[in-house]
Homo-oligomer: A and B are copies of this chain.
Amino acid sequence: MGSIGDSMAQADDEGVLRDAGRPRDTGTLGKLMVLLDLVTHAEIPLRFTDILALANQPRGTLHRQLGHLVEEGLLELDAEGRYAPGLRLLDFASRSWARNEFRLIAAPHLAALHRETGETVHLGVLRGASIIYLDKVEGHQPVRMYSQIGNASPCYCTGVGKAALSVLPPDRLEELLPGLHFNRFTAATHADVESLLAEIGEIAAAGHAFDREEHEAGIRCVAAPVWSDDRSFIGGVSVTGPAYRLSMELLQQWAVPVRVTARKIMDEMRIRLGPRR
């Protein structure tokens, strides 16, 4: 248990993906997605009444909504009346992942960075106030990738997240900050906007970010931001490992190859996707 790679598999505060929980004006779809979020983010399979308590919907309405989600294969209802995420989600996602241009471009560079450091390499993108991990390169053993890839983690306590924030245009940063809920995963996790902003300033100056056991005790990382010229796309690369193996001095050294990797990815994005964005 407790392998490094599991660090992101833990339950994050629910709703990291949503912009501070404010409802969207996507009509019926929005309400259904809230339900999907509820069920997929729950640690244990929920029963009808559990969902009824969480969702603010009358019984009849909720019943039909869940029925539709089940019929579409987005949720599954087992014989004991428990709702779980449906397999249709896997089909959608596999295509989303397989065709992601950013991931395809970055893959060889991630592999190179892994060879250079010998530690786990991650690729993530900023989505709202969350980092979504798109890829992972980890040496050896039958990889259990899916448990990490696709996972959403908060931006304020991950290396990739803070790196991404450091290149976010000021107006978007101001938009995002008030919505943050600081969940203190460890003693080192930022607890307020002020300390986060201060570090973001340092990161912007240095060009790289550290995660000093802020998301999970015993896990450190160095990350560098990756962004498109017009900032419509913002993400990052990181090297992650256990604190006993990765001293802060070593991470400091690795900051260079991590930044170089980020630059190579950006260069190739300009070539492949065109320089304008």
Residues of A bordering B, CB below 8 Å: 9, 17, 24-30, 32-33, 36, 40-41, 45, 68-69, 71-74, 79, 84-100, 111, 114, 125, 127, 132, 134, 137, 142-143, 145-152, 230, 232, 276-277
Instruction: Name the one of B28, B33, B71, B96 contacting A40, with C-beta atoms under 8 angstroms.
Output: B96
CB–CB B84/A90 < 8 A: no
Instruction: Name the one of B28, B137, B150 contacting A91, with C-beta atoms under 8 angstroms.
Output: B150
Residue of B nearest to A18 (CB): B73
CB–CB B146/A146 < 8 A: yes
CB–CB B17/A146 < 8 A: no
Q: Nearest Cβ distance between residue A61 and chain B, in whole angstroms?
A: 13
Chain B positions within 8 Å of A134 at CB level: 87, 90
Given contacts A45-B99, A93-B94, A95-B150, 11 further A-B contacts (CB under 8 A): A40-B92, A40-B95, A73-B127, A79-B276, A85-B95, A87-B96, A87-B127, A91-B132, A92-B150, A94-B149, A145-B145
- Would you mind naming 13 contact pairs between A and B with Cβ atoms under 8 Å apart? A30-B72, A33-B74, A85-B92, A85-B96, A87-B127, A89-B96, A90-B93, A90-B134, A91-B132, A94-B147, A94-B148, A111-B142, A145-B146
Q: Nearest Cβ distance between residue A4 and chain B, in whole angstroms?
A: 16
Please give me the 3 A-B residue pairs with the lowest Cβ-Cβ distance, nearest first: A94-B150, A93-B93, A90-B150
Chain B positions within 8 Å of A276 at CB level: 79
Residue of B nearest to A151 (CB): B94
Chain B positions within 8 Å of A73 at CB level: 17, 127
CB–CB B143/A143 < 8 A: yes
CB–CB B98/A147 < 8 A: yes
Q: Nearest Cβ distance between residue A179 and chain B, in whole angstroms?
A: 15
Q: Of residues A9, A32, A91, which shows the largest number of chain B Cβ atoms within 10 Å of its Cβ?
A: A91
Instruction: Name the one of B25, B68, B150 contacting A29, with C-beta atoms under 8 angstroms.
Output: B68
The complex places the Cα of A96 from the Cα of B17 at a distance, in Å, of 16
Q: Of residues A17, A28, A98, which shows the largest number of chain B Cβ atoms within 10 Å of its Cβ?
A: A98
